[in-house]
Chains A and B, each alone.
Chain A
């Protein structure tokens, strides 16, 4: 009987989605020459449609961001974005965006899906905007808590690690409330005992012990969640086992960047300096690191070009020296 009642309650909660919502299907398409996917233009009331459901297939684990624009702010920016984990294989992700981001207001006009991994590893994402229900909310909360917040470092320079969140709030907000309530109960008990016991005072140590126990329990729950992240990181680094150092360097750099570095090491004469044009952020820093004792010098005799936007003036001063592939080559100064 009880099970039936629970099932009925669940159906009642799920029912509004089925009956009331006008789901909006969203077609994501890769943008030519850009590492992201963009949706077609839509016009969705964010107050009614609060949940985005995306189905996508990924060849590797990674993270991605979803950006959106609305009638108040037509720019894609980080304030109006969600950060989430992508798991290898075919998976469906639910986001109750309204609960996670205050920028979910007004009329939503479109989305961008920006994978923070090789975009080629993701295939055709399908998505729809729906009015969320209990099940999608649970799924959204679950994904949010086990998402990148509290597990991944923000950016490349190891500067911060945000706390895990649940429905847009730090998980600590919920835990502080629970600890606060426990503390109230312990204190109430302590003072009742203090009033009752005229001769013998209740043990202060017992109060501390209980409090420490509560803190430790919550800490262990948080640590369990961290251990899961550790395990995921460990798994993604397992392919590096048994590889030689050169292969490892190639694996931790994107695309054929390290192959280009090896190509430069091979082609550059001994003890010459180089200038560079790199298309991606930080590739210049990595090149200085890998190619030392060749030193970087602005306007040097050799110019390394790797996936950089074309510069017509370069040809005035430099001529081809060695080529690895299209957009990855070494130039030498014209005499």
Chain B
């Protein structure tokens, strides 16, 4: 029975994700593995959005009702796909699915090391019940309450959720509902799955331009960050945020790379742009900090298009508006529910504090403390292996030999992400979390896959990539 429940827990979001991505992505632009992992990730997020909407239309969050909702959504999309004849997976691809040929011993070793990591992450996540305090005090207790009460519109649950986005609560609640029991080992099932999906998508994105060995090497490096691996075994939100945001940003980079040389918007570029905005929308459902991250990406891309690609933007406006529409559609329920007030609230508080601190000498000393702590943490006393040292080297090499517009675009996003940390920590109560060492590493984790992809781009063997 448990196996059947587990299959339901995984296949339902996967089917939902497949249908949704089939509706918005062309069938030929992506690799098979990439589609598979993207469908799973999109499915988990869409399942959360669906479960978020149901209680507002007085539908209880029980297995039967949720499955009915899924079925309805999938049917509508299936009708669209039937007439459009553009299913995400095509038969030829599936029939050509074979084991990779001609692997070198280096590639086999890298794959073996990654496999060890997968086994470790799955084992550690699923063998023990939730024990991490923030998960117990917020996400998992909320999920348990939703499972028992069949809604989140309950005073205890709303108090637990407070102003946080619903991803962790509802994704964990879905697992409990589909398993039909309070199993707080399997409640963490999605986190190791997201870990594998992140690596799979990262590899596919890398493989688009670089040789297999080089792509595998950087995917292996991504799998090796101890802090990230640890988070993939817990029921926290930081790792999910990292995965969704990194995938979104790297697709945005691929989009820039694609349009940089061309005057027309290719199908691939359109797919990259769509995926980037769709995953950015999902990342807003995970953590409040998603607002700042989304703002960074949106402002960067809008400015880039206005400065460098104004003609393309004018001639193909419809192709840009459609993905933007998906973004708005996916974030609308959350914006209507609460994000708008949080956003304006956060912005209001921030502006007020900037104004207050501008006349306060403490702001300058805050900045110095943030700067020195950040340097210490990034380069020496947090366990990011050699990532940030490599980032400095990559930037020096980039400025020396490889300054292209797409690389500079990615570098800008990374710098803005780091700058956002200054913004976060220099102001108000977050400064205390910097001093007691409780927040910085988790916030830095969000940028790590992007930084690694940037390093790969700079060190890539193909100079024209």
Contact = CB atoms under 8 A, between A and B. Distances in A.
B144 A289 contact: yes
Contact of B437 (A160, A175, A223, A293): A160
B148 A293 contact: yes
Contact of A222 (B148, B385, B441): B385
Contacts of A163: 380-383
Interface string A181-224: 00100000000000000000000110011011001101100110
A282 B383 CA distance: 26
Given A153-B230, A295-B156, A240 B128 contact: yes
A176 interface: yes
22 contacts: A156-B132, A156-B133, A157-B132, A157-B133, A158-B132, A160-B227, A161-B230, A161-B383, A204-B463, A208-B397, A208-B459, A211-B459, A212-B459, A215-B393, A222-B386, A229-B226, A234-B120, A237-B123, A240-B127, A245-B129, A253-B131, A289-B137
Interface string B399-443: 001000000000000000000000000000000000001111110
B53 interface: no
Contacts of B144: 289, 292
> Contact size class for B?
35 or more
Given A215-B386, A252-B131, A288-B137, 14 more contacts: A154-B437, A155-B438, A156-B132, A158-B132, A161-B230, A170-B380, A173-B380, A175-B389, A209-B461, A219-B385, A233-B124, A249-B129, A285-B137, A295-B156
> Contact size class for A?
35 or more
A253 B184 CA distance: 14
Contact of B123 (A153, A226, A234): A234
9 nearest A-B residue pairs (beta carbon): A170-B380, A159-B438, A161-B227, A289-B141, A285-B137, A289-B136, A160-B441, A161-B383, A223-B224
Contacts of A216: 217
A249 B120 CA distance: 20
Interface string B146-163: 001100000010000000
A154 B442 CA distance: 13
A198 B423 CA distance: 50
A254 B133 CA distance: 14
A182 B36 CA distance: 42
A150 B148 contact: no
Contacts of A233: 120, 124
Interface string A304-330: 000000000000000000000000000
A289 B135 CA distance: 10
A172 B144 CA distance: 42
Interface in B360-386: 379-383, 385-386
B134 interface: yes
A151 B441 CA distance: 15
A158 B116 contact: no
A185 to B, nearest CB: 15
Nearest to A160: B441
B234 A158 contact: yes
B183 interface: yes
Contact of B141 (A170, A204, A288): A288
A215 B324 CA distance: 40
B209 to A, nearest CB: 15
B127 A211 contact: no
Contacts of A172: 379-380, 386, 389
